[in-house]
Amino acid sequence: MKKSYLLASLLLMTLSNILSAQDKPEDTEVWEPEPKVISPGYSYASAPSDAIVLFSENNLDQWTNGDGQAPGWDVSGDIFTVVPKSGQIQTKEVFEDFQLHIEWRSPLVIQGEGQGRGNSGIFLQGKYELQVLDSYNNRTYSNGQAASIYKQAIPLVNATQPTGNWNSYDVIYTAPKFNENGELKSPAYVTVLHNGVLVQNHTEIKGRTAFIGQPKYEAHGPGPILLQDHSNPVSYRNIWIRRL
Ligand code: MG
């Protein structure tokens, strides 16, 4: 009796090891509930006098690519656009708690679907993704649509503008705090307004954004604002930040 119990639990352990070795991206997709679709108002928010303007026009001097070189993205006047496969870009400056304003636009020509349409992302402190996606008439998993904290938190509503229109995010971010031994003292929190509509209300961030598996925290200091190259020519403009 004891032997067979041991055998059975051994078998179970092996089975669960095999299963966890085969984690899939789909495991952490959440499709329900689907956030209600609303039509947002439209607003362009000029930078207040105490903000650091990270982009207004003509150059990406305050940004680098992943290797510390000049970004390969396209700048045209007061807009810049992802050049697919040129890699992510990030601010030279690093931040802890902040208020961020950023505007983005999905490609005018609709290509692809789901996660493949107008995908980019804003990584807070370079680690925690606030999703950018063309979520106008484009169903995907709810915790991966525009204004989700990717694979962690579904937005309260879908306030995405029709494809090709500008969207804004206003983000209030509290950085995670760590003890000296690297243990998490308090998690990160984020509040997001999408086109002026509350979509994340003091949402607790569960750890570094993970495509596969569960998010985990690793101790870190101040980090940049990082923009994702997900191979779609998403545009950005009017980016400013206030340290809190
Ligand atoms: Mg993304």
Q: What is the pLDDT of residues 97-155, one digit of tens each?
A: 999 999 999 999 998 999 999 999 999 999 999 999 999 999 999 999 999 999 999 99
What CATH number does the domain containing 144 carry?
2.60.120.560
Could you tell me the residue range of the domain that residue 188 belongs to?
A: 27-243
- For residue 11, tell me if it sits in a domain: no
Give pLDDT tens digits for 23-78.
Answer: 999 999 999 999 999 888 766 788 999 999 999 888 999 999 989 999 999 999 99
Is residue 233 included in any domain, yes or no? yes
Q: How many domains does the chain have?
A: 1
Residue 97 lies in a domain: yes
Residue closest to 200 by CA, chosen among 188, 209, 208, 190: 190
- Report CA(220)–ligand 1 centroid distance (Å): 22
Ligand 1: centre distance to CA 183 (Å): 28
Quote the ligand 1 centre to 108 CA distance (angstroms).
18
pLDDT tier, 12 (very low <50, low <70, confident <90, very high otherwise): low
Is residue 144 domain-resident? yes
Q: How confident is the model at residue 1 (pLDDT cuts 50, 70, 90)?
A: very low
Residue 85, in any domain of the structure? yes
Ligand 1 centroid to Cα of residue 185, in Å, is 28
For the chain, the average pLDDT equals 92
Q: How far is the CA of 144 from the centre of ligand 1 (A)?
A: 8
SS3 183: coil
For residue 9, being part of any structural domain is answered with no
d(CA 88, CA 120): 9
In a domain, 13, yes or no: no
Task: Please write the tens of the pLDDT for every residue from 130-144.
Answer: 999 999 999 999 999
**Torsion sign over Cα 178, 179, 181, 187:** negative
217 located within any domain: yes
